[in-house]
Amino acid sequence: MREPVRAERVSEHLNRALHDVLAADPAVHVLGEDIADPYGGAFKITKGLSSRFGERVRSTPISESAIVGAGAGLALGGDKAIVEIMFADFAALAFDQLLNFASKSTAMYGRPVPMPLIVRCPSGGRRGYGPTHSQSPQKHFLGVPGLSVLELTPFHDARALLEDGFAAGRPALLFEDKVLYTRRMFRDGVVDELFRYEPPDRPDGVVRVGVEGVTGYDCTIIAPGGMAHRALEAMRELLLEHDVLCELLVPARLYPFDLGGLLPRGRHVCVAEDGPAGGTWGAEVATRLYPVLWGRLARPITLVSAADSIIPAAPHLEREVLVHAHTIRLAVLEALA
């Protein structure tokens, strides 16, 4: 008897997507620190690319500003560029290139200038890497005209997401929760024995996770891809232990945020993210949703985020700061109480 084929890991999925994107389009380049073989990148996401695609895949010096700028230069000249920032925290070193060059150039010359540039940012904690290697800095890149903020999820096809990002002609950051790399992709609409999902209607659209045949929910959780497993765990416990029925919406595009016509079906809404409290993505999502949901919301949208804190290195201290499944579960229970 043959064993059932398991879904690929997110890291394998993303690596395959990069291989496919480079194979399909000779204009695509990949730049990043230590991305060449045999090392293949700090998280092995670029493994095999330099062996197969030669100079189109370059290991770079430690120079986030220059490599994002060089990617923008390639894009300006008619190529397409994917830049890997080894840890999302270091995207701060390239902020000028993102804020003042790549994103502004799409519009500040009075006409659309395509800038097919995707900056990949392995993000998030729960690995004990400490304060400068564990952040989820997505919120710092929200609200930049011309700049898209995307996040990898275990539901969305990575190749489609990359190609769609290039086609949009505006630079994008793609955040990738490092813990997600080791998890497996979901497929065929099945999450587990309880939950099913509807695939997105477009590569960067919203995935809806719920219980088959159910349309009314106690709560709709909205969470980016890196939070999806924790949200699912919370939903399972809420259903089995508290009889609270939740659905989950997972967007691949955090900014500009758009539910794409999918309205939350819960009587309450909770937005969960792993960035620190204050000026958050969740606040942006809530602001976008209030005008739409005002008439039927019984209480304010609940925002779940990490503590307003740096992220300690010691695992037991790090746990105090970041969002867990139980953080979401308690927030939903408290809101519905």
Partner 1 sequence: MTRTPVSPARPPLEPVAGPAGPPALGPLDAADLDRLLLIRHFENALLRLFGEGLLSGTTHTCLGQEHVPVALNPLLREDDFTFSHHRGHGHFLARYPEEAPALLAEIMGRRGALCDGVGGSQHVYHRTFMSTGVQGESLPVAVGMALRLRRAGHGALACAYLGDGTWGEGSVYEALNLAALWNAPLLVVVENNGIAQSTPTERGMAGTIAGRVAAFGLPYRRVESIDLAAVRAELAGPVAAVRKEASPLVVEFVTRRLGPHSKGDDTRTADELRRARAGDWYERYAAAFPRAFAAADATWRGYVDDLVAEVSSRPPALWTVR
Catalytic residues: 133
Binding status of residue 169 toward partner 1 by CB under 8 A: no
- Specify whether the CB–CB gap between 19 and 48 falls below 8 A: yes
DSSP 271-334: EEEEEESSS-HHHHHHHHHHHHHGGG-SSPPEEEEE-SS---SSHHHHHHHS--HHHHHHHHHH
User: What are 303's strand-pairing partners?
Assistant: 271
Site for partner 1, residues 264 to 293, rule: CB under 8 A? none
Minimum CB separation from partner 1 for residue 119, in Å?
A: 13
Binding status of residue 65 toward partner 1 by CB under 8 A: yes
- Give percent helix, percent strand, percent coil of the chain, each to the nearest 5: 40, 20, 40
Binding status of residue 63 toward partner 1 by CB under 8 A: yes
When binding is defined by CB under 8 A, the residue of 41, 71, 276, 282 that contacts partner 1 is 71
Interaction pattern, residues 105-124, with partner 1; x per rule: CB under 8 A: x-xxxxxxx-----------
Interaction pattern, residues 76-95, with partner 1; x per rule: CB under 8 A: xxxx-x--------------
Taking contact as CB under 8 A, which single stretch among the options 57-65, 229-237, 250-258, 317-325 is the one that binds partner 1? 57-65
Taking contact as CB under 8 A, which single stretch among the options 61-69, 178-186, 207-215, 237-245 is the one that binds partner 1? 61-69
Rounded Cα gap, residues 183 and 109, in angstroms: 43
Binding status of residue 30 toward partner 1 by CB under 8 A: no
Binding status of residue 258 toward partner 1 by CB under 8 A: no
Peptide bond into 256 cis (omega under 30): yes
Q: Which is nearer to partner 1, 104 or 126 (CB)?
A: 104
Binding status of residue 103 toward partner 1 by CB under 8 A: no
Q: Provide the sign of the torsion angle of the four alpha carbons 48, 123, 261, 221, taken in this order.
A: positive
Tokens found for residue 23: 């194979």
Minimum CB separation from partner 1 for residue 142, in Å?
A: 19
Closest CA to 311 of 68, 91, 74, 132: 132
Minimum CB separation from partner 1 for residue 104, in Å?
A: 8
Tokens found for residue 59: 């290991």
Q: Which residues bind partner 1 (CB under 8 A)?
A: 58, 60-61, 63, 65-79, 81, 96-97, 100-101, 104-105, 107-113
